[in-house]
Amino acid sequence: MAESDNTTEGGCATNGVNADKTLVTVATYNEIENLPRLVAEIFEHAPQVDILVIDDNSPDGTGEWCDERAAEDQRVHCLHRQGKLGLGTAIIAGMKYGIEHGYKNVLNMDADFSHDPKYLPDLLAGMEPENGEPVDVMIGSRYVPGGGVEGWPFKRHFMSRGVNLYARCLLGLKSKDCSGSYRCYSTKLLSKVDFDRVRSRGYSFQEEILWLLKRQGATFGETPIVFVDRQLGSSKIDSGEATAALRIIFSLGVKNWFGIK
């Protein structure tokens, strides 16, 4: 299905206009309860970034609100899609937008305040630490010292830990948090990824993109975050997507262990 981009003239980079900027991407479906406050808090903690909302034709007015805000603030842009096409494809759309518009980094976060905007400065600083080499991917990690999760039952804790161990073993990933989506990516490395070959459309995208970037020689960093379960709106997770994610990670693991391109 086609995507439409209503971004204002200020959002289209030419001649390196955005060469030193970070684009924060947020995928939405029925997030009108969260998005206005989220945008305000993103700019409170990182006023220098631009925001791209990728909206999957939300019937609750999320996309319309974004259009109105974009008309007032050239830092805000909205990419409209024709329906629910999957979290992975939404994130890819944001990455492609960041590459095409000349941004230095693309930072993805959830729309439901599970990812607190107060961690944005740490993620951005981690891309180019004062004492150390720059990294290609900085992960907001629940599973390094100082990180954690609030509001989850034991079953979900167990499943998340299990999926991370599963991905690390099969895909040879060293990051402690392979399934979280609060991350900042260098577009220089993202531009080397053939997005047409990405299999994941849902939650396994998080592991697959790390694996693809690892194959490109990416360096990774992690900074602690506390993940807080959503307070408003409803979760988009379902058991079918979770099962599909495990299958895709397994098939990628076969490629990884046998060196298949």
pLDDT score recorded for residue 41: 98
pLDDT score recorded for residue 238: 55
For 9-21, write each residue's pLDDT tens digit: 334 444 567 989 9
Distance of CA 212 to the CA centre of its chain: 15
pLDDT score recorded for residue 245: 80
pLDDT score recorded for residue 208: 96
Quote the pTM value.
0.89
Mean pLDDT on 37-47: 98
For 60-94, write each residue's pLDDT tens digit: 999 999 999 999 999 999 999 998 888 899 999 99
> Average pLDDT of the chain?
90
For 82-129, write each residue's pLDDT tens digit: 988 888 999 999 999 999 999 999 999 999 999 999 999 999 999 988
Classify strands 226-228 and 148-150 as parallel, antiparallel or unpaired. parallel
With cut-offs at 50, 70 and 90, classify the pLDDT of residue 4: low
Q: Give the whole-angstrom CA distance, residue 15 versus residue 168.
A: 40
CATH of domain 3-258: 3.90.550.10
Partner residues linked to 23 by β-bridges: 50, 106
- Whether 133 has a pLDDT exceeding 90, the answer reads no
Q: Give the whole-angstrom CA distance, residue 99 versus residue 233.
A: 31
pLDDT score recorded for residue 125: 96
DSSP 37-90: HHHHHHHHH-TT-EEEEEE---TTSHHHHHHHHHHH-TTEEEEEESS---HHHH
Mean pLDDT on 189-205: 90
- Whether 136 has a pLDDT exceeding 80, the answer reads yes
